[in-house]
Amino acid sequence: MTTILAFVFVLGVLIFVHELGHFIAARRIGVRVITFSLGFGPKVFSFRRGDTEYAISAIPLGGYVKMAGESPDDPRSGKDDEFLSKSKWQRFQVLIMGPAMNVLLAIVLMWVVLLQGAQVPAFIDRPPVIGSVASGSPAERAGIQRGDRIVRVSGREVATWEDLSIAIGTKANREVPVELVRDGQTITLKVTPDPQTKYEVGDIGVFPDVHPSVISVVKGDPADRAGIRPGDVVLAVNGQPMSVSQQLSDAIAAHPGEPITITVRRDGQAVDVVVTPEKRGEKGIIGISIGEELKTIDPGPLEALRMSLQRNYEFSGLIFRTLGGLLTRETSPKQLMGPVAIAQLSGEYAAAGFIALLSLMASISLNLGILNLLPIPVLDGGHIFIMAIEGLARRDLSMKVKEQLLLAGFFLLMILMVTVIYNDLTRIQWVERLMFWR
């Protein structure tokens, strides 16, 4: 139920804000709005105020603002309150305001999230100097070593670990050139990131020069019996360097019932501790709470606004690069998400708290705003594109040409919709088991 409610809330707010942009712009220039609807299909609830019917419709995967004289097929009287009676510049304002409102919402939501402050890994904004390389990882196979400083991925500069994570994350199962500096020499290696998680996020198995620490030890569990203490800094497991908490958790979980040697730093000295993880389910645990070096972000209102603008600008660039990667096949279409995945994420983020849910909403709102500006007929950007062509040609396109463009745009959207829904279904285990061809 939480997932459904969170999904309805997220989608409802984003659609409402988008359509509100069109509505306000239309009313501002004097266009009569016939219907303002959240959702498509049969109307579940509606009321009329003035010339406009406000409605909630049965299919909650979109919305629309129906304007008088919006299409050449609509009955037209030639009155000034009809959409097509307005100039191209005025119509452009109406079309652009939907996506613009989504971008603005993303900025405001991210600003609210940042105002709350947060703890993030201390290394996230440090240069990506390799502290350790996972055994058997793509990085190890490619020849990346401890101490290497990665400077570019696919020709794009990476200044921080966050940049590296983003650059690699969109390249699962795609061979990418990684440029690095080793002993003052620049080297370029080919690396193919492995897909991780059900969303196939690329990973090459490199970690910063940091180590997780033991926050607490459960009395009587294997770690306690072996002598591991709170405050111990974990350097390695079976000789494999440990850099982040997830890496340590995975290393312990992989050896249920098997003795492992955990090297910790205690009072400035390296100490080897042999411990046998207890088998619970299919994984091993030793009874410790793990932490890592964190830093606190606590900006004031103006600094939070600056950070929000910067992050949305960076995320916008990532969206455009991802779209470009889909066209050049550098990015896997399996990373695309549809309504089912958004619903699942909404439930997960809602369980993490309202601020986490706002963070997800900011990301989706930015995506919605930018994707609606693509020059695909039936989208806002497609209508703007057609108007731009007509403006350059100084004449309107024929109805036949417009119908063909709209049909092509609808066909592209249907392909996209089938792709994202298929991706969503493959992420559901019981559904994937029914897909015998996979």
Which residues form the catalytic set? Answer: 19
Distance from C-alpha of 349 to C-alpha of 366, rounded to nearest angstrom: 17
22 within 8 A of 94, measured Cβ to Cβ: yes
Q: Which amino acid is at 289?
A: S
Burial class (CB in 10 A: 0-12, 13-18, 19+), 313: exposed
212 within 8 A of 244, measured Cβ to Cβ: yes
Q: Are strands 156-157 and 149-153 parallel, antiparallel or unpaired?
A: antiparallel
Unique residue bearing structure tokens 């609808």: 410
Unique residue bearing structure tokens 């890592």: 292
Closest CA to 364 of 350, 345, 347, 348: 345
List of E strands, 184-276:
185-191, 194-196, 201-203, 206-207, 213-217, 233-237, 240-241, 260-266, 269-275
Helix, strand or coil, per DSSP, at residue 93 = helix
CA distances for 432 relative to 172, 347, 423, 427, 428, angstroms: 20, 21, 10, 7, 6
Give me Rg for the CA atoms of the chain: 27
Dihedral (Cα; 360, 361, 363, 366), 10-degree rounding = 180
Distance from C-alpha of 152 to C-alpha of 167, rounded to nearest angstrom: 9
- Per-residue tokens: 346: 């909404």
Distance from C-alpha of 210 to C-alpha of 331, rounded to nearest angstrom: 30
